Amino acid sequence: MTATVAAIDLGATSGRVVRAEVGPSTLRLDEVARFENRPVKIGDGLHWSVLALYDAALQGVATASRDASLASVAVDSWAVDYGLLRRGSLLGIPFSYRDDRTAHGLELVDAVIAQPELYARCGLQRMPFTTINQLMVDRERGLLEAADRLLMLPDLFGYWMTGRMVTERTNASTTGLMRLDGTWDTELMGMLGIDPALLSEVVEPGTRLAPIDAVTRAHFGIEGAPDVLAIGSHDTASAVVAVPMEPGGAYISSGTWSLVGIETPAPIATAEALEASFTNEGGVDGRTRFLKNVMGLWILSEAVRTWQAAGERLGLPALLEAAAAVDWAVPVFDPTDAAFYPPGDMPERIRAWFEERGQRPPRGRAEVVRCILESLAEGYAVTLRDAARISGQAIERVHVVGGGARNALLCQLTADRTGLPVVAGPVEATAIGNVLVQARALGAAPESLEELRALVRATHELREYRPRHRA
């Protein structure tokens, strides 16, 4: 048996709809739609154009349905962002996690609960944009008074398609409002003045919500009546499903952000993990993603955008080629510094970062690009060494999935700085993980994560990078 399914895969810079045919030994994907995703700045902050995203995504599902009978569809996206609703209607435009209100939200949470106590409850890395911090700003502004429901973005899309309000567990685990045991922390919400009634029933990846409703199908021209399924709706949770790793493997989900870590059977919320800024997020099948957010190719893409806006004609491939030719040591910076979170002139921010510390900044565009990639690779290496030390799990190889798997220089530098072989691919790991969990729920794919990963290894070309010197 094979199943034809569609993945709506929403990234922070673009979205896509992927149609897939999946069976016990079959995994074929076809991208049928791609569309831009760009936050928009208005008077009160930075927002996502969610209606435009929904329209583009459903048009893509319609396209996917015309050439094949779709059994199901599922949505994944970045974490932490949400929509507020009242009586089923969206209240306002969801904020982007890159809006600068998040720093104040962190202060508001800190005034109520100390970080060590919060970490013991939810196990999340201290990041300003976490849902809990955003909600505290909304509360201060009076926005929660009108709301009776909160839905994470994939769950919001699922609601619009089916009329059913749920919260998928892997994404719920990124909010700061969920206990390590996978239940909502209503006590914490009471301390923060957030009404627990805002939150919906938690469902597991693989849960069937309902068919896409008839009105939606008619409006968009979607053929058939595909079911909407919950999968690992946090994009990294889906990506990790598709990491073709075996015991001893670690992963880097490399795109706009870099999520660097290992899979563990249970959360690790120790003082040592807190000190090293590790997070514990829910994975598919009850696994834990023990990882750290190490920023990502966002810094590089913003640097290129800045140069192109100033008239630079060189594209990314030429800049990477020039960076690979840099055969001298370049300085490295901390890519997790909050200065690099918002959009803007990254080359200037990098220059300022070094000068503020009395260090020589990189000079010239090739050196800046090499500096960015070396800094990311060093961040990965430090994080993986910490993950191995804290978890007690030996790491023997590193898997890079997502867009970063295409960046040969970054993969090679990662191998060099970790001293470990790096396996690159698949690039579309998030979409693959999405469709695999759908197919499994439909009875068309193997049951265990290990078998699903073996299917990825058997059907996708992977590239290995060996360290040129030991770390």
Beta strands in 144-195 (DSSP E): 149-152, 167-168
pLDDT per residue rounded down to tens, the chain (471 residues): 899 999 999 998 899 999 999 999 999 999 999 999 999 999 999 999 999 999 999 999 999 999 779 999 999 999 999 999 999 999 999 999 989 999 999 999 999 999 999 999 999 989 999 999 999 999 999 999 999 999 999 999 999 999 999 999 999 999 999 999 999 999 999 999 999 999 999 999 999 999 999 999 999 999 999 999 999 999 999 999 999 999 999 999 998 889 999 999 999 999 999 999 999 999 999 999 999 999 899 999 999 999 999 988 878 999 999 999 999 999 999 998 989 988 899 999 999 999 999 999 999 999 999 999 999 999 999 999 999 999 999 999 999 999 999 999 999 999 999 999 999 999 999 999 999 999 999 999 999 999 999 999 999 999 999 999 755
* Distant-in-sequence, close-in-space partners of 128: CB < 8 Å, separation ≥ 6: 102, 103, 105, 106, 338, 341
Name the strand (E) or helix (H) holding 231: none
Structural domains for the chain: 3-220 (3.30.420.40), 245-425 (3.30.420.40)
- pLDDT the model gives residue 257: 86
Q: Which of 235, 285, 334, 416 is catalytic?
A: 235
* pLDDT at residue 439, rounded to an integer: 98
**Cβ-based neighbour number of residue 165 at 10 Å:** 18
User: Does residue 439 contact residue 248 with C-beta atoms inside 8 Å?
Assistant: no
Amino acid at 107: E
Q: What is the dihedral of CA 32, 167, 101, 254, to 10 degrees?
A: -50
Q: What is the pLDDT of residue 470?
A: 53
Integer CA distances (angstroms), 91 to 82, 86, 150, in order = 11, 7, 10
Q: What are phi and psi of 57, to 5 degrees?
A: -65, -45
With a CB cutoff of 8 Å and minimum separation 6, the contacts of 157 are: 8, 54, 57, 75
Which strands sit side by side in the sheet containing 89-90, from one edge to the other? 89-90, 82-86, 149-152
Q: Global pTM?
A: 0.93
User: Is residue 235 among the annotated active site residues?
Assistant: yes
The predicted pLDDT at position 41 comes to 95
Strands, sheet with 26-36, edge to edge from the N-terminal-most edge strand: 26-36, 14-23, 3-10, 72-76, 227-229, 208-211
CB contact set of 40 (below 8 Å; sequence gap of 6+)? 46, 47, 48, 49
* Residues in the chain, overall count: 471
